[in-house]
Structure 1
Amino acid sequence: MGYQVLARKYRPQRFADVAGQDHVTVTLMNALTQGRIAHGYIFSGHRGIGKTTIARILAMALNCRNAIGSAQRATAEPCEVCDSCVEIRAGNAVDVIEIDAATNRGIDEIRELRDAARYRPARDKYKIYILDEAHQITDAAFNALLKTLEEPPDHIVFMMATTQPEDIPQTVRSRCQHFSFHAVKLVDILGELRGIAEREGVVADEAALALLAEAGDGSMRDALSIMDQAIASAPTEDGRPRLDASQIRELMGTVPNTVFEKILEAVDGNNSAEVITVANQLLDAGNSPAQLARQFVRYLRNCVIAKIAGIGADGSGLDGTATELLQISADEQRRTGRSAALFGEEELTRFLQVMLRTFDELGYRQEQRFHFELGLLKLVHLRRLLPVEEVLSQFPVGGGSGQVTPRTTGATSASAQPATVRAGAPVSSSAPAVTTAKPAFSPFEADRSRKRFEGDAIVSAPAKGEIPAPVKAEAAVVPKNVDPVRVTEAVVVEPEPVDEASVTTITAEILGTGAVPAAALEPEIPLVVESSNLQTSSPPSASAEEFQRVATEALMNAKSQGSAADAMADSEWKIEGGEIRVQTELSKIMLPMVVNPEADKIVRAALREAGAGALKLVLLPGTAAATEKKKPRAAKTGSAQAKAMEHPVVQQAQRLFNAEIRNVIDLRDND
């Protein structure tokens, strides 16, 4: 016969020859020994791991003419010499029907199968149907098979092989025994390839075999197919093919992982030019950006696992756990250990996330080269950032109620000590230094009990017996070279004649999402606050009704804010405890929809112009139990509604019947 590919030539013919599926083979052999034969089996799992192969071996074992325990067949393994075993191995057995369910998936084909299943086998003990790619069968065809699966004849055994068991209806799965196959481990694939290379007379080093095993990605058939192709393209020595790693990489279109190790070293060294140079060499050599991104993603994943498994830069930690997690060769494990030692676990995770996103984008981008280079540059930029927790942990969280130390992020130096700023006192650069408390790792939890948030400003909670101070957001003078950290709010405690402990708390706003540039943590620069700019707020001169009128008119003059103007006009305004409390008639759901961010911005701007800058605006939703009388809406002077309100008949109707004007139609001539 003609040449057979390695995947068919070395296809297992016994349960013991199947690699990596011991949990399946042991169970089936025990069932054969005990006579516990099910009428339906489902074999599911990755491609090329032995599903159909085990189905054929099980068919041989069921129809083997030699009894288990006999001289010809000591175990549940098929004897491989009887007529049934030979015919099933050759694929021409009458009573073992193998059907490609991808093409024979309709209800008509299943009906024919069901009708043929009623007849007893021609010669063997069982009539066996092997349905490959069973998930392709339609729902109607599965429904036609249900009754046969539930109450089959004694001589029928169904075996279904599939890569997508979730597509098989639950009613079918519940009537069969389901075996989930595992991906074949790297060591098992490597052992099989080593043995096949010896039998085929192929000279192959361990690096080449390891590369073939990794390329199989858990599939024995894929690894054998790549090996078959590599043997065909390999050079010969003394009439024997020789496989090496470089030849296999060129055949597969991949690059050595030393390239990605070099990229990560350049990222660690903050060397963008080196990263782009390496990427340019790879792309100019004809490598696909998508293939490079895919391979880099796999390498970064291995680096993350190496970091988690504790593999050191010197190769320490290569124990059983690391081998299970990293299905790569020992040399590659040491390589990933060296790369992982350069970064933290969080950094490697961010790198992997960026490259995964880059790989996804390459599928639908026009300029793949540019997006791949951009993804590599992002890794360098991420290396320059610090976690926001690390930055915030350097802020002081301790101290008494009389003083709070303003400071920027960065290392504390003797020449740049933070200064305490007091209201009403002259401020100079020679202010006495204050010893800060040891920073906590999470300043949020440690500071939660003594701080509250007022808009964008962080307001220190007053000490016992003190009066809360209003917020004034203008006081800090920050040097120009402190760009990432800028002072935005200043909290002033109004000084009392008898209390000299009033202080000013300066808070810093951290820019960015999740990290600030490490350049912000350079030598610390003390903040200088001009005390003449820290003025206390005086009580508002206008009343709540005046503020309501101003806000309503501002909304009425704005475009598309009529609903918000009506809501403000119908609300009840009060000034309590430094706040303007607006009790609306809107529900919790409708309030943010009617008074949208644009309307809220208009109202706040109008209130600031009216002298309510020191007051906080609080919008309260209405309650279902509110029974207060609805306040009449103010009408614009000269409008049709104002004219209607002045009419004596309308006024009389309001007085007698408690009437309300809903709609006013102006019939006057517009001319």
Structure 2
Amino acid sequence: MAYQVLARKYRPQRFADVAGQDHVTVTLMNALTQQRIAHGYIFSGHRGIGKTTIARILAMALNCRNVIGSPQRPTAEPCEICESCTEIRAGNAVDVIEIDAATNRGIDEIRELRDAARYAPARDRYKIYILDEAHQITDAAFNALLKTLEEPPEHIVFMMATTQPEDIPQTVRSRCQHFSFHAVKLVDILGELRGIATKEGIDADDAALSLLAEAGDGSMRDALSIMDQAIASAPMHDGRAVLDASQIRELMGTVPNAVFEKILEAVDQNRSAEVMTVANQLLDSGNSPAQLARQCCRYLRNTLIAKIANVGSDGVAADGAAGELLQISADEQRRAGRSAALFTEEELTRFLQIMLRTFDELGYRQEQRFHFELGLLKLVHLRRLLPVEELLSGIPVAPGSGGTQRGISAPKSTSSPAPSTASAAVRTQPVTPAFVLAPAPPRPTPPPHPVLEKPTFSPFQQNTTRAEDISAPAPPIIKPAAAVINIPVEVKLPEPVPTPAAIPIEIETTAPEPAILPSVQADAAPEIATTNSPEAAALQQTAVEALTNARGQQSAADALDEAEWHLDGITLKVQTGVSKTMLPIVVNAEAEKIVRAAIGAGIKLTILPGTAATSEKKKRPAHAGSAQAKATEHPIVQQAQRLFNAEIRSVIDLRDDN
């Protein structure tokens, strides 16, 4: 007889022989015992985990000629000795038709199947159709099969095996019983491989078998296929093949996880040169950057799970939930525990994210080696970052604030002796800020001086410079600190005074004024009329009183009270000092409606935002009790004016009651 591969030679012939699918086998055996046979089954799951195998065993059990409970068949398992079981196992049964749906996927093939399903089985009890890779069938073909699936003949049973159940239409899935298969656990695969090695007379240690089981990645067929290949390439000793872990790694093109453990130790100790040296040795040995990135991702995942499950460096706590999550051997669990002890959970999460992104990028990059090396260097750089929690924990709480007000201080240097490990030394190094804020002294009050009717300006001055501020000293300038300066500076704002409601304040900082060259004379600024006509003044007084009496319009009243009103015939122009952005908020639609009602319907009203000229004007003092006055008297606003050389442009009163 020709040689059979291990996956076919040791294919299960009974429900009890199927590993890792007890939830499916128990349900099917109970259904056979109770004679609750469905007319359609869908078996879905990972590749190589027993979907088609269980379909064949179920077909043998349905058409077995011995009755359940007889001496030849005491349970629902097939007897394996009758003619029907023998033919189905050999694959030449007349009434069990196995169809490759990836090839016979069209509507014509399904129509032929539907026509043939009307006829009774030739000899057995059921005519069974096994559709492998059923998700490949077209939608039109599935629609042609719907009526047969919904009301099939009593002698028909459909079994569909697929790896992508979501591609099967919902109308088909609702007419069948759906069994979702699980990936086979590492322990189950390892037990099967150990039993097969004993039957085949192969010398294999636990490390080699564990490596084969891990390579299967939850698929029994994949593990057996790799084992077949390893046996073919294994050296012979006294007529018996000897499987070695190093030989299997070389066969699969992988590297031992001890290499990645060494890389993470170098990352922990901040040794970039060692990381690059190890990467260079791996790449020069002919390993693919994509394969190395894949292995590194798997090792980082296992390390992260070991950290979450509190697996120690000696493998403690690797059973229970940790064993379910870590489908690796005991040696690899201890290695993952040792690597997990070096980092925090957040750091391992960032490492895994960086390597996953690197693995994705390697698929479409030209220079894969460079991108793989860059990904490893990023791990070292991430180790040097300070967590936000650690940075915030060094900010002191202002006294008397009850823990709600925090000061801002630079990181403090430490003079304690260096830790024993290099990683701790890196993390305790003081961080020198790139800039140091010099404490701003209180701005001196400028001496009184006469108001210039036609002030002179330098052509180098900004448009926002005010005439009365020309003689004022320049505000403090933020200068970059030298590398050798490490002076912690703490800037604290005073505790805010509680107010009845929030008052948004628009504050504009004035840039430092450049020096005025004495040899350059600027053109005189244009004069702006500061008086209203009697008619305009009367309209202004009427509108402001109407807004003041209205509910929630005090901000609009203050803004229009400080504005310039000009009446030209029936056109009334109101030039405010509010910016274009803040004008719709201060003078809203309701306020404009009140003003129009106050001045009368025969006058055309136009409210203009503030311009450079109007912003240059010195505003009249706010009357007592207004929102402008309260904002000016607020200690935080006064502190901001002193620190940033700011001025108040507009104030919005959001209180319900003014």
Instruction: Specify if TM > 0.5.
Output: yes
Letter in 1 for 2:582: R
1:485 to 1:181, Cα distance in 2 relative to 1, 3 A:
farther
**How much does 1:399 deviate?**
1.8
Deviations 1:379-419 (A, max 9, x none): 000000011232122111232479986521134679x9x99
- Does the alignment pair 1:324 with 2:356? no
Q: Which residue of 2 aligns with 1:366?
A: 366
Is contact 1:193–1:224 with CA below 8 Å preserved after alignment? yes
1:478 to 1:101, Cα distance in 2 relative to 1, 3 A:
same
Q: How many residues align?
A: 488
Q: Which residue of 2 aligns with 1:279?
A: 279
Deviations 1:445-503 (A, max 9, x none): xxxxxxxxxxxxxxxxxxxxxxxxxxx9845556322899999x98888xxxxxxxxxx
Query: Within 1, Cα distance between the matches of 2:356 and 2:528?
Result: 56
- Does the alignment pair 1:298 with 2:292? no
Is contact 2:46–2:182 with CA below 8 Å preserved after alignment? yes
- Does the alignment pair 1:103 with 2:103? yes
Larger mean CA deviation between 318-327 and 249-258 belongs to 318-327
Is contact 1:573–1:581 with CA below 8 Å preserved after alignment? no
Deviations 1:558-598 (A, max 9, x none): xxxxxxxxxxxx9987557x99832289999xxxxxxxxxx
Is contact 1:20–1:185 with CA below 8 Å preserved after alignment? yes
Query: Within 1, Cα distance between the matches of 2:295 and 2:325?
Result: 18
Q: Which residue of 1 aligns with 2:411?
A: 409
Query: Within 2, Cα distance between the matches of 1:345 and 1:545?
Result: 68
Is contact 1:311–1:322 with CA below 8 Å preserved after alignment? yes
Letter in 2 for 1:352: L
Query: Within 1, Cα distance between the matches of 2:262 and 2:573?
Result: 67
Query: Within 2, Cα distance between the matches of 1:187 and 1:36?
Result: 33
**How much does 1:319 deviate?**
2.0
**How much does 1:113 deviate?**
0.3
Q: Which residue of 1 aligns with 2:605?
A: none
Query: Within 1, Cα distance between the matches of 2:35 and 2:614?
Result: 89
User: How do residues 252-267 of structure 1 correspond to structure 2 at under 5 angstroms?
Assistant: 252-267=252-267
Q: Which residue of 1 aligns with 2:655?
A: none
User: How do residues 73-92 of structure 1 correspond to structure 2 at under 5 angstroms?
Assistant: 73-92=73-92
Query: Within 2, Cα distance between the matches of 1:22 and 1:543?
Result: 94
Query: Within 2, Cα distance between the matches of 1:604 and 1:250?
Result: 77
Letter in 2 for 1:388: V
2:482 to 473, 480, 483: 480
Deviations 1:63-82 (A, max 9, x none): 00000000100000000000
Letter in 1 for 2:302: N
Deviations 1:511-530 (A, max 9, x none): xxxxxxxxxxxxxxxxxxxx
Query: Within 2, Cα distance between the matches of 1:321 and 1:110?
Result: 46
Query: Within 1, Cα distance between the matches of 2:350 and 2:211?
Result: 27
Query: Within 1, Cα distance between the matches of 2:487 and 2:184?
Result: 53
Query: Within 2, Cα distance between the matches of 1:122 and 1:543?
Result: 111
Query: Within 2, Cα distance between the matches of 1:582 and 1:175?
Result: 66
- Does the alignment pair 1:237 with 2:234? no
Letter in 2 for 1:342: L
1:236 to 1:412, Cα distance in 2 relative to 1, 3 A:
closer
1:61 to 1:389, Cα distance in 2 relative to 1, 3 A:
same
User: How do residues 545-560 of structure 1 correspond to structure 2 at under 5 angstroms?
Assistant: none
Letter in 1 for 2:281: Q
- Does the alignment pair 1:41 with 2:41? yes
Letter in 2 for 1:203: D
Is contact 2:437–2:478 with CA below 8 Å preserved after alignment? no
Query: Within 2, Cα distance between the matches of 1:491 and 1:572?
Result: 41
Is contact 1:542–1:610 with CA below 8 Å preserved after alignment? no
Query: Within 2, Cα distance between the matches of 1:571 and 1:248?
Result: 89
**How much does 1:424 deviate?**
4.3
- Per the alignment, in what secondary structure is the counterpart of residue 386 of structure 2? strand
- Does the alignment pair 1:583 with 2:584? yes
- Identity score, percent: 75
Is contact 2:275–2:377 with CA below 8 Å preserved after alignment? yes
Is contact 1:544–1:575 with CA below 8 Å preserved after alignment? no
Is contact 1:133–1:163 with CA below 8 Å preserved after alignment? yes
Letter in 1 for 2:278: V
Q: Which residue of 1 aligns with 2:16?
A: 16
Is contact 2:20–2:185 with CA below 8 Å preserved after alignment? yes
Query: Within 2, Cα distance between the matches of 1:357 and 1:161?
Result: 34
1:153 to 1:375, Cα distance in 2 relative to 1, 3 A:
same
User: How do residues 176-575 of structure 1 correspond to structure 2 at under 5 angstroms?
Assistant: 176-400=176-400, 407-411=409-413, 423-424=441-442, 474-476=476-478, 479-481=481-483, 574-575=576-577
- Per the alignment, in what secondary structure is the counterpart of residue 7 of structure 1? helix
1:48 to 1:21, Cα distance in 2 relative to 1, 3 A:
same
Q: Which residue of 1 aligns with 2:646?
A: 614
Q: Which residue of 1 aligns with 2:464?
A: none
1:477 to 1:67, Cα distance in 2 relative to 1, 3 A:
same
Unaligned runs of 5+ in 2: 417-429, 431-435, 445-473, 495-524, 531-571, 590-608, 619-644, 653-658
Letter in 1 for 2:409: R
Is contact 2:576–2:614 with CA below 8 Å preserved after alignment? no
Query: Within 2, Cα distance between the matches of 1:571 and 1:11?
Result: 94
- Per the alignment, in what secondary structure is the counterpart of residue 248 of structure 1? helix
Is contact 2:63–2:124 with CA below 8 Å preserved after alignment? yes
Indicate the structure whose relative CO is greater, using CA pairs within 8 Å and at least 6 residues apart: 2
Query: Within 2, Cα distance between the matches of 1:337 and 1:248?
Result: 24
1:475 to 1:242, Cα distance in 2 relative to 1, 3 A:
same
- Per the alignment, in what secondary structure is the counterpart of residue 583 of structure 1? helix
Larger mean CA deviation between 399-408 and 308-317 belongs to 399-408
1:63 to 1:387, Cα distance in 2 relative to 1, 3 A:
same
Is contact 2:40–2:175 with CA below 8 Å preserved after alignment? yes
Larger mean CA deviation between 17-26 and 611-620 belongs to 611-620
Q: Which residue of 2 aligns with 1:52?
A: 52
Letter in 2 for 1:318: A
**How much does 1:12 deviate?**
0.2
How much is the aligned-residue C-alpha RMSD, in angstroms? 3.8
1:477 to 1:228, Cα distance in 2 relative to 1, 3 A:
same
Query: Within 2, Cα distance between the matches of 1:375 and 1:608?
Result: 57
Query: Within 1, Cα distance between the matches of 2:406 and 2:168?
Result: 67
Q: Which residue of 2 aligns with 1:121?
A: 121
1:84 to 1:485, Cα distance in 2 relative to 1, 3 A:
farther
1:94 to 1:485, Cα distance in 2 relative to 1, 3 A:
farther
Query: Within 2, Cα distance between the matches of 1:220 and 1:543?
Result: 92
1:587 to 1:317, Cα distance in 2 relative to 1, 3 A:
farther
Is contact 1:293–1:359 with CA below 8 Å preserved after alignment? yes
Is contact 1:572–1:582 with CA below 8 Å preserved after alignment? no
- Does the alignment pair 1:26 with 2:58? no
Is contact 1:572–1:583 with CA below 8 Å preserved after alignment? no
1:212 to 1:609, Cα distance in 2 relative to 1, 3 A:
farther
Is contact 1:404–1:420 with CA below 8 Å preserved after alignment? no
Is contact 1:126–1:157 with CA below 8 Å preserved after alignment? yes
Is contact 1:582–1:617 with CA below 8 Å preserved after alignment? no
Q: Which residue of 2 aligns with 1:438?
A: none
Relative to the length of structure 1, the TM-score reads: 0.67
**How much does 1:312 deviate?**
1.5
Runs of 4+ in 1 over 6 A off after TM superposition: 401-404, 418-422, 482-487, 489-493, 541-546, 570-573, 584-588, 603-609, 616-620
